[in-house]
Chain A
């Protein structure tokens, strides 16, 4: 996830947004200006404030509040890159980080493609991912939201056995980037999150369900929906059994689809492609998916969790079409992977914070919506399996070979309607076959945490393993 993936004011528009924000850009420019002859220097500085509250049995189980700051410096000289970071913005620490990055550059293999980003003239879109009201929202209200969610989940249904967690979390992150090649950008973002995990059951049979609501500020949150979602997901699995093995049409709920698109994102990274580590390498222009499939990465869409005015190298974010009507159009690139591929950056650099270097990645993937709502997708399928959650994505999905095998739980679909619950099964195929096998895409686009939106989709001819 990109820490810079937040929007904010362009450098120079910062008046009134608080001196701390301005300081970050100055710090970054100060470091970049220390570049010596024949050397490029990039400074990424970030600062964040977070709150986390967990409620349990009517009390606050923990309350955590924290501020952190850090700097990451890249130095490129003679085609060699070096990197260093520290979790501090003190002057002497910064000097040490720059010296370390310079030293580290000497050990890299010279590579003509290695360079920092340069301004490309693309104007930044208006992306709004900062909610000013978060800063003035009282702590008591945050605590009360966690307590209320826990209380509501416990009281909602007699089959609820436990509310194993009820959390409120928020974060405000400010970041700035400057390079000796002319980049100077800053961004800021807020995010609020309320989530609840319930265990519901009858007799020996227990199931868990997680519900959440995410927004830029507290007023965007819908705690009632989080509770209702957790309850529905846990209670509808009660009595679930293994299903019979065989070939089935699988309908994935929006959250699962978002996870699947996240896996696809790693195969669409220009870095993976140029290094021959993607099942899409060398396939631009080919039919890689069903004709209904159009996939776009658009971090300028403020609704997206990963929306940001700039990428992690300080270039203005832009919309990139990756698959159009089933045909592979291209990939996302940062500066180095673009050079390697003989193209230009798509402003798709992300970094995991000040402690890591940028890599090319999707930030705001979404499938073009179809015409059917979720119920319509089920009807169109007739018989199959509805999967509400999957496990083992990191162990069972290989974005290089395309092999796909995950644990699943959900409900049987019979006659176009949801029927009895299913648990402890796997669904398997290959990513290549799944993309070609998409038979319905829902209109129910939902922006979820992570790099992709979710919506209901149906994929035919997957292998279900049960009994």
Chain B
């Protein structure tokens, strides 16, 4: 692409940023911030036996935020020139008009919380000796990606396309019932710069790579689908650690298994979630409810409950944006704050909420590194990073063996929560019946429904295994990459939304 900016060159000059922040506060205001972003990426799609399309894109721009009292003004522009940024600053500062006053702004890069040169991010490299989140000495899902970042933009497009062709061949070879395969590859390189009137000045480059396969199988009972994805905050070296053959055969296996599936039960049953089945249970059951924006508006069932026992003592829930290479990880958040590890629930006791800068200011504390935004076109808000339940002591097989009748969930789809009531749903994409302590018949897809605080109390077994799954979290119209993780665990009773009477 033209106008390529060499890595290392700042997105916006320091002096320019300083003048823009000054202009943003010219009409008064308590806080101003410039967020500049340059995102480029390549994607390739394979469907119906063909490479359908290779696509490349570039989006660049900046957003200026001005806070006056309880009010935030925001404006964004795709024009990163000084005049473009000053125009955005002027628009954002209109909220401050009439309040008068001016202040001199100095950006102190020396006190920056995290000033990282693009290269030293080394996504994927895990600090030696770092405790695995499983707590029982287990590694994270996927082998640690060794070695340096392989910048995806240096990898020939033909290699990306070849991965798709391999996935198609492998999935189709899984059985004659496989009637359709699609596969997608995508990489994104995102450079950001955040600077504020409070002295924050941070820059970061993050690289993410994702590969997914979707399979349709057809049989006497109709069609079924299977899906699998790998996604990490790493470059093309993702494929040193992850095998596209494995992704493809998992997706095909899921679709084929469901051809003989019976309808899921209807009613309340114990549910065993396999390690890495999605972890979305906790993301929905309590993760969103622990975001400070909901808490401060008293729009969460967890508001005012710090220090209380809100879950079974087996539950220790962590949100950690520092996990090397995980899908929800980053060096600094979109407000310039370093990623952090925050223990939200410890042995069932609610210990903390997640905070962004504005919500933290209101509460007289500092941000927990959870201020994120989809792009420069969006205001930051409180978001999760990698949210996971720590592993316990139990053996996953014992958990199944001690369940007389229930549902074993091997893979979850998405979910949704109403934070005000705590009611949430999550869907299965691979599930089985448990009968007399044994996994038996495959079940068709269904949603499960529960209430966050109730479900957390019903966690009655947690194993020592652990794994993470990548996902995309949507909130208030913005999507961000997140990780979810959990060991094998059991919830003593969940309402299963199938069609088969019990």
Residues of chain A at the chain B interface (Cβ within 8 Å): 56-57, 59-70, 81-88, 90, 92-93, 95-97, 100, 103-105, 107-109, 111, 139, 161-162, 164, 199, 206-208, 242, 245-246, 274-277, 279, 355, 357, 391-392, 394-396, 398, 400-403, 405-407, 409, 423-430, 463-467
Contact = CB atoms under 8 A, between A and B. Distances in A.
B444 interface: yes
A396 B445 contact: yes
B170 interface: no
Given A64-B379, A405-B446, A423-B423, A428 B499 contact: yes
B100 interface: no
Given A107-B51, A426-B425, A428-B266, A392 B415 contact: yes
A88 B444 contact: no
B305 interface: no
A392 B425 contact: yes
A400 B55 contact: no
Given A275-B180, A276-B179, A391-B416, A207 B421 contact: yes
User: 8 shortest A-B CB distances, which residue pairs?
Assistant: A426-B497, A395-B427, A396-B447, A392-B425, A96-B2, A395-B414, A407-B425, A109-B50
Contacts of B222: 279, 401-402
Interface residues of B, number: 85
Interface of B: 1-3, 44, 47-61, 69-78, 91, 94-95, 157-158, 161, 179-180, 182, 216, 218, 222-225, 258, 264, 266-268, 294, 297-299, 301, 377, 379, 412-418, 420-421, 423-427, 444-451, 495-499, 501-502
Given A82-B54, A100-B1, A107-B157, A62 B421 contact: no
Contacts of B61: 68, 87
Given A84-B56, A96-B1, A465-B497, A403 B445 contact: yes
6 contacts: A64-B73, A87-B59, A103-B157, A424-B449, A426-B448, A426-B495
Contact of B447 (A84, A85, A103, A395): A395
Given A109-B50, A207-B421, A392-B415, A85 B379 contact: no
A208 B294 CA distance: 13
A405 B78 contact: no
A207 B415 CA distance: 19
A109 B183 CA distance: 14
A402 B50 CA distance: 26
Contact of B2 (A93, A242, A398, A405): A93
Contacts of A429: 499
Given A66-B76, A87-B78, A426-B497, A245 B51 contact: no
Given A62-B74, A428-B498, A465 B216 contact: no
A403 B444 contact: yes
A65 B70 CA distance: 18
B157 A208 contact: no
A159 B360 CA distance: 29
B447 A407 contact: yes
Given A65-B91, A400-B223, A467 B76 contact: no
Given A107-B161, A465-B266, A242 B57 contact: no
Contact of A95 (B2, B72, B182): B2
Given A86-B57, A396-B497, A465-B497, A424 B1 contact: no
Given A95-B2, A161-B298, A424-B495, A357 B427 contact: no
Given A66-B76, A104-B55, A395-B426, A403 B446 contact: yes
B425 A391 contact: yes
B427 A108 contact: no
**Best-buried of A64, A90, A279 by chain B (most CB within 10 Å):** A64
B216 A357 contact: no
Which of B1, B57, B59 gathers the greatest number of chain A CB atoms within 10 Å?
B57
Contacts of A430: 499
Contacts of A392: 414-416, 425-427, 447, 449
Contacts of B161: 107
